[in-house]
Amino acid sequence: MKKRIIINEEYCMGCRLCEVYCVTQRSRSKDILKAYKGEYPRPVSGIVFEEKGPISFALQCRHCDEPPCVESCLTGALYIDDETGRVLHDGERCVGCWMCIMVCPVGVIKPDVENRVVASKCDLCIEAENPACVVHCPNEAIQLVEVKEKA
Amino acid sequence: MHYLIIGNSVAAVNAVEAIRGADQEGRITICSDEEVLNYSRPLLSYYLGGRITEDRLAFRDEAFYQKHKVDLILGKKATGLDTGKKRVTLADGQVLAYDRLLISVGGVPMVPPINGLRDDTTGVFTFIQLQEAKRLIDYIEQASIQEAVVLGAGLIGLKAIEGLLERGVRVTVIELMDRVLANTFDEEASSIIEERLAAHGCTVIKGDTIQQVKTKGKKVRQLILKSGKEISTSLLIVAVGVRPNLELVKGTSIKTDRGILVDEFMKTSVPDVYAAGDCAQGLDFLSKENAVIAIWPVAARQGKVAGLNMSGAETPYPGLFAMNSVQIMDIPTISFGMTTPPEGEGYEVLHNLDRVKSAYKKIVLRNDRVVGAILLNAVERAGVYGMLIREGVDVKEFKDQLLGDEFGLLVLPKEFRKHLVAGESFVA
């Protein structure tokens, strides 16, 4: 079964722990203090956090079945992982043309200009068992669920 | 079943992926007149500027063709098409029979007739093909070129300028219109780019064109402009535009207008022949008419839709609209659809200019729907504007938030937002 993140915006408290732990997971040290105090440039979080008044939610790559970013990628840097169906990004191939940013319907691919001029996006924490934002959300506003494979 | 694809760029690659999703057994042959495995044309400016090496131009590697069981015929031009016998003839006389044919041969650079400019004039280049880019680089290196002239300040011209400047070549650009990127941008956006060009030492000549090319032997030496201005140069890049390549369909009964006309299934007027990409004229989502939209995402989607229909999965092409994401002189820019609406036809324009950051945002609306946008130095979340255009979302209730830094899904009606982030794959 494929796993994807769902968002329950009603449960989101706006604490932004998801962002903190996303950055930590994407750091070299995987240590929260070192990630924030010792590593520069700091990794770009794979989360787009939206907040206004009482409404807030964390948004990350939807890992679409037919991702327009992969279709429009000039370099082949964006691809679908055969095994997991995740939409992954190879920073070595990326030139930072921002075609993916142009076509992503939910706007969750970011330019990572501080580190190198390449795109940056959620990979569902490929190196970890479960995505860091899901694990550390205190109120189940971000959940990992199993979804049906595309027929 | 034999699928024959002429051309080997992004439309072809997407067609292959689509065909293999439905048909693992059929034979797929790709035939291209270019020698290399494949390469991304928009990356040529990065290559010219030395930002990437030749080995990074490919957007699919050799394993892709093996995995999808594609027979590749490279370096051979398709010169003849007999749609009755369903055969394509190659330049060396080889004949390929097909059951389904995809024509995805792209565009050819336009070179306007100019006094004194001949086919064999040296030092004159176009800039959409790898071989030509390589010849250009060799020429710059061998002749130690310090200065160049670019004719045409559209996207291809500007990307060529950027590559030249990065190589340390000084550039003069000559544009017939009164501003650069006149087809893509509005006056404000053009002027920001023009300022940046000037800051990098590029001379911009507007409202003018080349009337005569003077040569020394065969080599370009001087340009006489319509205004009478004279410019000495030994390198001229012609970047006035690209037109659909109709060479293969000429003399067949396949209907063409500006490009090869295709229906919603990417079929041409002749059975079992499909077309996609820069050579095709398919549905424009905004005008609802057939138009040539020579951009990468359109070629990718058309190729995919063609592949699906060729292999039996009847799938209509939803139509896309013009959109470009181009980094120009390190300014990230994205534009969508209608960017400079005509006066008095019911369009509404919202814009915001941050002079300190040179950041510019413009949204074009009609009947409370987004129909176009320009984003300079402010491309984060750009795709959401594209989505609003595609989905035809009524933005009346949150119009005042469209330009804000906080713009995102939060401004959308809750139910629509939920549908958007969930999508079809979340049916548990």
Q: Does A106 touch chain B (CB under 8 A)?
A: yes
Whether residue B399 contacts residue B368, with contact meaning beta carbons closer than 8 Å, is answered with yes
Same-domain status, A139 and A112: no
Predicted confidence band of residue B426 (pLDDT cuts 50, 70, 90): very low
Residue A1 — very low, low, confident or very high, per pLDDT cuts 50/70/90? low
Say whether both A55 and A69 belong to one domain: no
Provide the residue type at B416 as one letter.
F
Same domain for A115 and A133, yes or no, is no
Mean pLDDT of the B221-248 span: 97
Q: Could you tell me the two tokens for B72?
A: 């590749």
User: A111-121: per-residue pLDDT in tens?
Assistant: 998 877 889 99
The dihedral through the CA atoms of B129, B268, A65, A16 has a sign that is positive
Q: What contacts A74, CB < 8 A, 6 or more positions away? A: A95, A97, A99, B40, B42, B43, B59, B296
Within chain B, all domains assigned CATH 3.50.50.60 are found at 2-41+59-107+245-310, 124-240
How far apart are alpha carbons B307 and B276 in whole angstroms? Answer: 10
Residues in chain A with CB shorter than 8 Å from the CB of B58 are: 76
Q: A50 and A70: one domain?
A: no
Among the partner residues A57, A98, A145, nearest to B428 by beta-carbon distance: A145
Residue B425 has pLDDT above 60, yes or no: no
Average pLDDT rounded to a whole number, residues B214-236: 97
| pTM of the shown model | 0.95
Give pLDDT tens digits for B252-309.
Answer: 999 999 999 999 999 999 999 999 999 999 999 999 999 999 999 999 999 999 999 9
Q: pLDDT tens digits, residue range B22-60?
A: 999 999 999 999 999 999 999 999 999 999 999 999 999
Domain that holds residue A40: 1-60+126-151
Distance of CA A15 to the CA centre of its chain: 17
B206 bridge partner residues: B175
Nearest to B325 among A57, A59, A101 (CB): A101
DSSP for chain A, written as a single string: -EEEEEE-GGG--S--HHHHHHHHHTSSS--HHHHHHT-SSPPPPS-EEEEETTEEEEE-----SS-HHHHH-SSS-EEE-TTT--EEE-TTT-----HHHHH-TT---EEETTTSSEEE---S-TTSSS-HHHHH-TTSSEEEEEEPPP-
Token digits of residue A38 = 């010792």
pLDDT, one tens digit per residue, over B141-197 is 999 999 999 999 999 999 999 999 999 999 999 999 999 999 999 999 999 999 999
Residues A9 and A50 in one domain: yes
Convert the pLDDT of each residue in A67-95 to its tens digit.
999 999 999 999 999 888 999 999 999 99
H/E stretch holding B199 reads helix B187-199
A83 and A111 fall within a common domain: yes
Stretch(es) of chain B classified as CATH 3.30.390.30: 330-426
Quick one: A41 and A85 in the same domain?
A: no
* Fold (CATH) for B330-426: Enolase-like; domain 1 (3.30.390)
Tell me which residue has tokens 């035939």: B31
Pairing of strands A48-52, A55-59: antiparallel
pLDDT tens figures, B63-75: 999 999 999 999 9
- pLDDT for B300 equals 97
CA B14, distance to chain mean position in Å, is 16
In a shared domain, residues A95 and A142: no
- Dig out the tokens for A22 from the structure: 């996303």
Q: With beta carbons under 8 A apart, name residues in chain B contacting A68.
A: 297
| Domain spanning B2-41+59-107+245-310: CATH superfamily | FAD/NAD(P)-binding domain (3.50.50.60)
A25 with A40, same domain: the answer is yes
Cβ–Cβ pairs < 8 A, chains A and B: 130
- What is the predicted pLDDT for the residue at B378? 95
Q: Mapping DSSP to helix (H, G, I), strand (E, B) and coil, where does residue B291 land?
A: strand
- A10 plus A23 within the same structural domain: yes
The pair of structure tokens assigned to B382 is 């750009």
The reply to whether residue B409 touches residue A96, judged by beta carbons under 8 angstroms, is no
Domain B124-240: assigned CATH number: 3.50.50.60
In whole angstroms, what is the distance from residue A64 CA to residue A67 CA?
A: 5
For CA atoms B358, B333, B128, B182, the dihedral sign is negative
CATH at A84: 3.30.70.20
Q: What is the interface pTM, i.e. ipTM, of the complex?
A: 0.95
Cα separation of B251 and B102, whole Å?
17
B408 interaction partners in chain A (CB closer than 8 Å): 48, 50, 59, 107
Enumerate the residues of chain B whose CB falls inside 8 A of the CB of residue A75. 40, 43, 56, 59
A107 shares a domain with A151: no
Same domain, residue pair A48 and A100: no
pLDDT value at residue B427: 40
Query: How far is the alpha carbon of A69 from chain B, nearest alpha carbon, in Å?
Result: 9
Domain of A47, CATH number, reads 3.30.70
User: What is the pLDDT averaged over residues B396-417?
Assistant: 93
Which tokens in the block code for residue B283? 């549905």
Structural domains counted in chain A: 2
